[in-house]
Amino acid sequence: MKTIYILLITVLSWSLQACTAQCGKPDTCTDSIPRIYPDYAGVTFPLNIAPPNFRIGENADAFQTEIGTGETADILYTSKSSEVIIPTKKWKKLLQKAAGKEIFIRITLLRGGKWTRYADIKDTISDEPIDEYLVYRLLYPGYELWNEMGIYQRDLTGYEETPIAENRNFGKQCINCHTFNQNSPETMMVHVRGKSGGTLICKNGKVEKVNTKPEGFKNGGTYAAWHPSGRYIAFSMNEIQQFFHSSGQKPIEVSDLAADLMVYDTEKKTFLTDSLICGERYMETFPNWTPDGKTLYFCRGNAYKEKMPLDSIHYDLCRIGFDPESGKFGTPECVYRASEQGKSVSFPRVS
């Protein structure tokens, strides 16, 4: 009986392969570019990226996808499903072959017994690789309740995902705002919220828990930025509130009710701040250092007042000098007044 099954499977496999080889000839062609998700049209793929699987957004009885470079289709994938799963080994060979060159994604669809070929999707393979790992927080896409969440890393050269920290190990408390020093996995921090929470700081092979809510302050560390030296971490100390509306275009809004800046010295275990960046007049948030570590950029808006319309809150881009040797701050200055245009600046980054 086993032999018969093996024979049937082998014959069926040969039949399918023959069908695939014959069915790819188009009866008609169109200049339209097929819809795919994610939209990979006109993108540049890093030299070591994982196979970019996608879904074809067109209705059809069967789908054929060819991927290649020049005149050669190096990958052929035919299926009755709109999902295109690119074979890893063939994709890696194509990456090496097409480094620095253009590739095509050619899609042909079967409808009513006839094949229609769409215009090629053109992309480029970079001759440079990308850093292999991406770190992110993963949780259920809601905003009211949560149960399980974690900080994970994904191998961008494949699809392997491994946990760095999961809240099942912290009494299912919230963990957020993981931040690395210049993308180094050796120096990072992450907040653990809740009754027994704190900020976990990993440095020099050691992990310590720090209470980033200085004595006498209402709020603790929120958004963080490592000083290039690895010695300091700049924090904004935010009180963040969700607002739910029964009507309107925005059923939910998130806003700061208060925000100040402070810097934590990981060597002396002390907090540094100044009345110029911490007080009741303004809300200061989203810190980010310059590469030389001598200037701290941040966003600043007028302090929130009770019954203040949320759409009246606007953030300007500001900066303040910092002396890494003494830990002293300079004088803050506004770099860009987005508020004058009714706009806001958020999450500044030095390019």
Tens-digit pLDDT profile for residues 267-276: 999 999 999 9
| pLDDT of amino acid 202 | 94
Residue in 282, 241, 277, 279 with CA at minimum distance from that of residue 262:
277
Query: Residue 296's closest CA among 322, 261, 260?
Result: 322
Three-point CA angle 297, 301, 307, nearest 5°: 155
Pairing of strands 184-192, 198-203: antiparallel
Q: What is the pLDDT of residue 145?
A: 65
CATH 3.90.180.10 is the classification of domain 29-125: no
Cα–Cα distance measured from residue 21 to residue 324, given in angstroms and rounded to the nearest whole number: 67
- Going by their DSSP bridges, the two strands 121-125 and 44-45 should be labelled as parallel
User: What is the spatial distance between Cα 110 and Cα 118, in angstroms, rounded to a whole number?
Assistant: 11
* 171, two tokens: 């009494």
Residues carrying CATH 2.60.40.10, the chain: 29-125
pLDDT digits (tens, 9 = 90+) for 1-41: 444 443 333 333 333 433 443 445 799 999 999 999 999 99
pLDDT tens digit sequence for 66-122? 999 999 999 999 999 999 999 999 999 999 999 999 999 999 999 999 999 999 999
Report the distance separating Cα 233 and Cα 226, nearest Å.
4
Q: How far is CA 303 from the centre of its chain?
A: 30
Q: What is the 3-state secondary structure (H, E, C) of the chain?
A: CHHHHHHHHHHHHHHHHHHHHHHCCCCEECCCCCCEECCCCCCEECCCCCCCCEEECCCCCEEEEEEEECCEEEEEEEECCCEECCCHHHHHHHHHHCCCCEEEEEEEEEECCEEEECCCEEEEECCCCCCCEEEEEEECCCCCCCCCEEEEEEECCCCCEEEEEEHHHCCCCCEEEEEEECCEEEEEEEEECCCCCEEEEEECCEEEEECCCCCCCCCCEEEEEECCCCCEEEEEEEEEEEEECCCCCCCEEEEEEEEEEEEEECCCCEEECCCCCCCCCEEEEEEEECCCCCEEEEEEEECCCCCCCHHHCCCEEEEEEEECCCCEECCCEEEECHHHHCCCCCCCCCC
Q: Among 29-33, 79-83, 195-199, 206-210, which stretch is predicted with the lowest mean pLDDT?
A: 195-199
What's the distance, CA 213 to chain centroid? 27
Q: Which residue reads 């971490």 in tokens?
A: 233
pLDDT band at 290 (very low <50, low <70, confident <90, very high): very high
**Distances 152 to 165, 221, 294 between C-alpha atoms, Å:** 7, 22, 32
The confidence band for 143, taking pLDDT boundaries of 50, 70 and 90, is low
Both tokens assigned to 164: 């760095």
Distances (CA, A) of 224 to 66, 191, 263, 295: 45, 10, 9, 15
pTM: 0.80
Greatest mean pLDDT among 119-128, 136-145, 234-243, 251-260: 119-128
- Angle at Cα 40 formed by Cα 38 and Cα 45, nearest 5°? 120
Percent of all residues in the chain with a pLDDT value above 90, rounded to a whole number? 69
Q: For residues 94 and 67, is the Cβ–Cβ distance under 8 A?
A: yes
Q: Which residues pair with 297 in a beta bridge?
A: 288, 319
